[in-house]
Structure 1
Amino acid sequence: MTTQIETPVKLGDTVRHARKALGLTQPQLALAAGVGVRFIVDLEAGKPTVRLEHVLRVLQALGGTLAVIGLNDSQAGAQE
């Protein structure tokens, strides 16, 4: 399934929905992702300053990934 995320609040809602669909509590997800419970609370609340590294861990723990769509690949490769 693909979900279009355009705001921190939408990301938080998506993470919360996925967590609940898997029957996980916030502490269980935090443990599985290797982050603190406070981070999960902030992420699900739509806090705009969460650490990307931790977001990626949470998404992986939920069985998801992050994809960027619509960028010109030749420009993205030039930045490496």
Structure 2
Amino acid sequence: MSQIDLVELGQTIKEARKAAGLTQGQVAVMIGSSRTRVIAFENGYAPDMSINTVIHMLNAVGLDFRLSTFNHGCPTLDDLQAEQAEEDARNARRGLPWPRW
């Protein structure tokens, strides 16, 4: 994810929680919070939730939190690799040689 807002983060956590087979109550116990707070965060509303609690919630559902240096709009290696993979797939569909270097 390159840029994400609170609603998207909550939705991502909700999807990961469900994929992990966890209930909101189980996550709440794991992070030492209430089910109500987990529900609020999954719905994109938790203005007073600490970053520490968010990180614990991410970890509880199998996700992590990473920081990177600001790249001033330059593509990252992941961006370039994804772009190349898309181009290679398009070329393969057209019958062009793969990979094109």
TM-score, normalized by length of structure 1?
A: 0.75
Q: List per-residue Cα deviations over 1:5-38 (Å, max 9, x = no partner).
A: 5210000100000000011110011111222112
Partner of 1:12: 10
Paired AA for residue 52 in structure 1: I
- Structure with the larger RCO, 1 or 2 (CA within 8 Å, 6+ apart): 1
Q: Which of 1 and 2 has greater Rg?
A: 2
Alignment partner of 1:52 is 2:51: yes
Task: Report runs of 4+ in structure 1 exceeding 6 Å deviation.
Answer: none
Partner of 1:42: 40
Cα gap change, 1:29 to 1:5, in 2 (>3 Å): farther
Query: Could you tell me the percent identity over the aligned residues?
Result: 31
Alignment partner of 1:27 is 2:28: no
Task: State the alpha-carbon separation in 2 of the partners of residues 44 and 17 from structure 1.
Answer: 9
Unaligned runs of 5+ in 2: 72-101
Q: CA RMSD of the aligned region, Å?
A: 1.8
How many residues in Structure 1 have an aligned counterpart in Structure 2? 70
**8 Å Cα contact 1:9/1:46 also seen in 2:** yes
**8 Å Cα contact 1:5/1:11 also seen in 2:** no
